[in-house]
Amino acid sequence: MPDPLNRPLILGIDTCGTECGVAFVSSGGEVLAVRTEPMTRGHAEALGPLVAEMIGALGAVPSDLAAIGVTLGPGSFTGVRVGLSFARGIGLGLAVPVTGISSILAPLVLGDAFRARPFAALAPNPAWRPASGAEAKAYVEVLRAIPGEEPELLEIRAADLPGLIAGLPMGTEIIAPDSWARDWNEIMSGVSPEMAEIAPEFSRDPWPAPTSLVPTRPAALGAALAALDPSLPGARRPVPLYVRPPRASLPP
């Protein structure tokens, strides 16, 4: 009798932001279940029960897992480590591989442009507001056409985005969430006077747009798909991905 779940299963986890996300896909790539629970804290308490509930609802057991994917950041310091610790612990216990992917790339995995090499993926800093103008921050992940190279993660001012784009190799695919179709000129309008002095070719209106606007999906689903196919551009070792060192110090 055919297995309706097409086991083994792949688990995807995302706790980097303001959601606790879990996804399951089959070994054939079929999306079986996706849930995202909004929360700003409490990921550690919510993640295990959510995974257990979803496994039970699928009629599966933990030993049905063949691989685990997890988002690595950027995100909250605690959230990044909650998801990563859970994924690595389950992976160790079940002796299954764990694959990481950034929280920038995970929501874009299902887009065809994501498979382009080289590429630069753009995502707004969660604290970004259009009124921030030139000082607004964006996350950029750049993968150059070098076999085996992991993407380079940058946090830059919106004012520096056009210069970064101009400096990328010819043919680089510029990938961004489709929500930026609405926000792109608003982001750039606050920086055009500054950039007109630095790089006149970027003072035109509208500003250079991304070459691919990709509909975003839950990051947990992107993590599961990265675990299903670790050869995906941007899939990487499961270690925390920070854009700056943690702000922490030992007490005196």
pLDDT of residue 192: 43
Contacts of residue 115, defined as CB under 8 A and 6 or more positions apart, other chains included, come to 232, 233
Separation of alpha carbons 90 and 113, rounded Å: 32
DSSP code for 17: S
Calculate helix-pair angle for 77-94, 43-57, nearest 10 degrees.
Answer: 40
pLDDT of residue 200: 46
Query: Which of 144, 134, 163, 172 shows the shortest CA–CA distance to 234?
Result: 144
pTM of the model: 0.81
CA atoms within 13 A on the CB side of 215: 2
If the chain, 252 residues long, is cut into consecutive pieces of 10 residues, what is the mean pLDDT of each piece? 68 94 94 94 95 95 96 89 96 96 85 70 59 59 66 74 75 76 56 46 49 82 93 87 68 68
pLDDT of residue 244: 67
Concatenated DSSP letters for 174-209? EEEETTHHHHHHHHHHTTHHHHHHH-GGG-SSSPPP
With beta carbons less than 8 A apart as the criterion, state whether 69 and 227 touch.
Answer: yes
With beta carbons less than 8 A apart as the criterion, state whether 15 and 21 touch.
Answer: yes
pLDDT of residue 116: 67
